[in-house]
Chain A
Amino acid sequence: MSLCLEEVNYTVDKKALLKNINIRCEAGALSAIIGPNGAGKSTALKLMSGDLHPTSGTTLLNQAEISSYSTRELALHRAVMPQQTSPAFGLKVWEMVKLGRAPFAENHVLTLEHVEKSLRIVDALHLADRELMTLSGGEKQRILLAKALAQVSVEDVSVGNKKFLLLDEPTASLDLKQAQTVMRILRAAADSGIGIVLVIHDIASARRYGDVVFLLKDGGLAYAGEPKSVLTAEKIADSFDVDSETAEDSLGI
């Protein structure tokens, strides 16, 4: 079970943002997409979430073309964690997480169990009754993660272990400890069978928690494979266009 970009080109106004990309993310693995600004990381993620459609090539979710899914079917199979949130009207934390179960036609009691479980995973059950916008940045990020986890819960037997969670720099605005917490939760989620796909700038975290790394450069796939083989000083120095010392440091070894 996988989420793949096959021979994908994506062009906007004659500018090629992605060139002949092949990315294959497996369920149960943590795939990290890495690369300098403007390399096409977020575009790749938007293609994989079904927000954008490739100019040529295909996006496959569990072997079926992603455009063949209805909006709701897609929501049963993949979640996208937004980088931030600004609800139009006030919202309690538990109400926010509950929205993660919106795609599922299920018993109300079951929904609430999912909400509680997800909040427990991100260690935020004590925040359940708080107004969302009164939380700190790190807390809000954890709530968004809980909502996404509620959506991709592996307990939905009808869908089984075929769900994917897509995240665009989930740790970018977090302090060291919060970032570590989020990465550990994602690692555990991958181990439980969910496919995690994340765009991340923190190379050391990608190396430590990732199963597979895709290194993008100028809209093309420069390197792909296991973190230890892809995230080396030479390859970092090459794709990020930095000197070898800076590349060494970024690995955090």
Chain B
Amino acid sequence: MESPVRTNSIAYLSNQSKSKRMLALSILGGMALLALVTSILTGPVEIPISAIWQGLKRTFGADPTTMSGSSAIVSVIRLPRVFLGVCVGAALGISGAALQGLFRNPLVDPGLIGVSSGGALGASVWIIFGSTLTFIPEFLMVFALPVFAFLGSLFAMVLVYRIGSRRGHVSIAAMLLSGIAINALSAAALGFLVFVSNDTQLRSINFWTLGSLGGAIWAKIWPSMIVVVGASILILRDAENLNLFAIGENDARHLGCDTAKLKRRMIVLPAMTTAAAVSVSGIIGFIGLVAPHLIRLLAGTDHRLVLPGSALLGVILILTADILARIAVSPAELPLGIITSLVGAPFFIWLLVRYKGWMP
């Protein structure tokens, strides 16, 4: 009997899917690089492409004698901005993908487990009460806001985790619900802080909750980048485990995946990654939701593709949004969060309508 599929079919299908994965990642990588260069070249001052290389050399410590004015702009203003964008975009993208894998639900976003609202609260606490903490030495002042935001994110995330789990056993539904509760509490506390703030403080809080890549400086970016890169590598190592988890928690365990430990890692690592990124940039919504979903829609559902692909797409989306934010009302700058939400929210609604059928 002649089978419609060739005898070497599984090997063929596997090869085909691997090439598709590699092609998708290469295209995304190329697009990310393009967005990176475009972002560096975009701004009120025209910059020749050659200045990028000189700016890089200057930033990473080589030969300060050959500096032109434009390479200084690249090194001090444009590069930090782009690196922060890479950091935030990759963090939000990979965290969103990991959390969607964990919750087995394509509508999950890092904001859902309290990371964003906790960060906003932490940042606001510093903005309002920071001036009273006189014991903090002067040179640490630049780190204070991101550190407070990071602590706020971690605190909210730990609360959500503790409420949503019992003796290390994570209940996905309880986790989602406690995320909603903690988000509401954070919003109330933030509202109170806004109420007691003066005009300058209000403006800072407002600016922070809308998110921006502007004003990035290297001193703040390095710590954040180390956390993002480290945690992302750990998340990527769980790609195969997330593939198992996607077919069901019991099935994954029967196939040898220690699901209790996996669940713990997939809460803590994305939360740390997101916290490290948004503590510098402020809250930027919807990237973590949209990026993984687009990757699945366009290229496939294997987490070996979805995790790195979402990180790359996160970078592409955030740099593009940032370019738009800078040129839309030039010479002023729109907050980045407005653009991502403006595009992200309708996309989210489209997803809701599309998947209404299978939601409980």
Contact = CB atoms under 8 A, between A and B. Distances in A.
Interface stretch (B8-16, B39-47, B113-121, B200-208): B8-16
A60 interface: no
Interface in B273-326: 296, 301-302
A71 B257 contact: yes
Question: Size range of the interface on A?
Answer: 35 or more
Given A91-B246, A91-B301, A126-B3, A112 B14 contact: yes
Interface in A87-131: 87-92, 94-96, 98-100, 102-103, 108-109, 112-113, 115-116, 119, 125-126, 128-129
B13 A87 contact: no
Contacts of B254: 49, 75, 79-80, 82
A85 interface: yes
Contacts of B244: 99, 102
B256 A88 contact: no
Given A112-B10, A129-B5, A103 B256 contact: yes
A151 interface: yes
- Counting chain A CB atoms within 10 Å of each CB, the highest count among B247, B250, B253 belongs to B247
A99 B243 contact: yes
Interface string B66-103: 00000000000000000000000000000000000100
A91 B10 contact: no
A126 B7 CA distance: 10
B159 to A, nearest CB: 26
A119 B251 contact: no
Contact of B256 (A72, A126, A128): A72
Contacts of B215: none
- Counting chain A CB atoms within 10 Å of each CB, the highest count among B17, B253, B256 belongs to B256
B247 A126 contact: no
B3 A125 contact: yes
Contacts of A179: none
A85 B256 contact: no
A100 B255 contact: yes
A92 B10 CA distance: 11
A76 B255 CA distance: 8
A233 interface: no
Interface string A148-167: 00010000000000000000
B4 A126 contact: yes
A87 B246 contact: yes
B255 A99 contact: yes
A79 B251 CA distance: 9
A87 B105 CA distance: 10
A103 B244 CA distance: 10
Interface in B242-265: 243-244, 246-248, 250-251, 253-259
Given A75-B256, A103-B255, A112-B10, A89 B296 contact: yes
Nearest to B247: A87
A128 B255 contact: no
A75 B254 CA distance: 6
B91 to A, nearest CB: 22
A102 B255 contact: yes
Contact of B253 (A71, A128, A151): A71
B104 interface: yes
B153 to A, nearest CB: 26
Contacts of A92: 13, 17
Interface string A228-253: 00000000000000000000000000
A82 B14 contact: no
Contact of B106 (A76, A89, A151): A89
Interface of B: 3-5, 9-11, 13-14, 17, 101, 104-106, 240, 243-244, 246-248, 250-251, 253-259, 296, 301-302
Given A71-B258, A99-B255, A128-B10, 5 more contacts: A51-B253, A87-B248, A103-B255, A112-B11, A125-B5
